[in-house]
Amino acid sequence: MARLIGLDLGSFSIKVVCLSKHGKGYRLEAIGIALNPYGARPGGDDASQVKVAEAVKKLLSDTRLSSAKAMLALPESSVYTRVVEMPSLSDSELASAIHWEAEQYVPVPLDQVNIDYEVISRPDKSSEKEKMEIFLVAAPKTVVSRTVEFASKCGIEVVGLETEMVSLARVMVPEDQGLGPTMLISLGASSTNLAVVRDGMLVLTHSIESGGTALTRAIATEFGLDFPQAEEYKRSYGLEPTQLEGKVRNALLPLVDRLLSDVRKAIQYYNSSNQEAPIKRAVLAGGTALLPGLVSYAAVNFGMEVVMGNAFSFVEPSANAAIPQDTVSFGTAVGLAMRVL
């Protein structure tokens, strides 16, 4: 019997997680990570796709998950997402009307995308003036087909697709925690994705084309290092002012400040129209979130509580798999694995 897994095809690394239900939570059955040899995702040139597929197959073999059925994530930059307001409709009325609504927001012909949606809020029937909120997702059919074809080359059957931030929010900002609107910040290698999460639902998303790789390059340029050395400097010293006389921090600050400024603008944009329940908390996720000193620096920059996410808050280890020390980088894979159960 094929096992159900969450597979995160990141531009820097590939992560796989297999969970089982355990009481009110989950048990970790298998977990693994491998470097992405080309930094490529489904849809690149044939040579790079072959190498990445080989890396995925080896990872699945090493974790004894070959011939698995998988839930995969689509990169935020590849899909169109938007929160839209509509008159309050029944489920059947909404199913008929959503494509007409999507035409206003999706910048390509609708026959070129797969449409999905989720109701964020629906007013009481007595509130005729209030509108319902819908989270709309449009995934280009070419992106979907390339992802499914790539998975097939890896010996994987795709059982579902969703966006990275939907997966991440499931584990980093659980619906039942009563935390209020939260800014979820996923700091990846090539991009940074933002999502405002309210009651377990995404109500605002935004992508920034800057991530950990840009930080590594800044260090490499400043110190004349090759990429692996610069990556080690970044992971070891980060924004700590006492390390190497603060020289690494100084090399990183221009990029970090620009990135945090973009995040702050997104927070201000949301708060300007939600003054009764503003964002008061941010959660960091993704590998670049491990940058030393980033949590405290971001907290001062935003003027609010900032915490490091933990993808394994509701996951117990098993005899086959231990919880990794890095509990933040596996967020998308864990979220996908939860969704598939």
pLDDT average per 10 residues of sequence, the chain (341 residues)? 87 94 94 86 74 94 92 93 92 95 95 96 75 96 95 94 96 84 96 95 94 97 98 98 97 98 98 95 97 98 98 96 96 97 90
Asked whether residue 213 falls in the same domain as residue 284, the answer is: yes
- Alpha-carbon gap, residue 88 to 107, rounded angstroms: 25
Asked whether residue 247 falls in the same domain as residue 293, the answer is: yes
Asked whether residue 333 falls in the same domain as residue 265, the answer is: no
Nearest CA among 118, 139, 279, 130 for reference residue 201: 118
Asked whether residue 230 falls in the same domain as residue 302, the answer is: yes
Asked whether residue 65 falls in the same domain as residue 92, the answer is: no
Does any domain span residue 99?
yes
Q: According to the model, what pLDDT value does residue 150 have?
A: 93
Q: According to the model, what pLDDT value does residue 127 have?
A: 65
Asked whether residue 149 falls in the same domain as residue 12, the answer is: yes
- Report pTM: 0.94
- Alpha-carbon gap, residue 226 to 208, rounded angstroms: 25
Say if residues 97 and 90 touch (Cβ distance below 8 Å).
Answer: no
Asked whether residue 225 falls in the same domain as residue 333, the answer is: no
Asked whether residue 135 falls in the same domain as residue 145, the answer is: no
Q: According to the model, what pLDDT value does residue 7 have?
A: 97
Asked whether residue 8 falls in the same domain as residue 125, the answer is: no
Does any domain span residue 56?
yes
Asked whether residue 250 falls in the same domain as residue 334, the answer is: no
Q: According to the model, what pLDDT value does residue 189 have?
A: 92
Does any domain span residue 201?
no
Note the helical H segments in the chain. Answer: 46-62, 91-102, 141-153, 164-172, 212-223, 227-237, 247-272, 294-302, 331-340
Strand order in the sheet with 305-308: 201-208, 192-198, 182-187, 281-285, 305-308
Asked whether residue 120 falls in the same domain as residue 256, the answer is: no
Q: According to the model, what pLDDT value does residue 65 have?
A: 94
Domain count, the chain: 3
CATH number for 104: 3.30.1490.300
What domain range includes position 279?
207-308
Does any domain span residue 180?
no
- Alpha-carbon gap, residue 38 to 25, rounded angstroms: 35
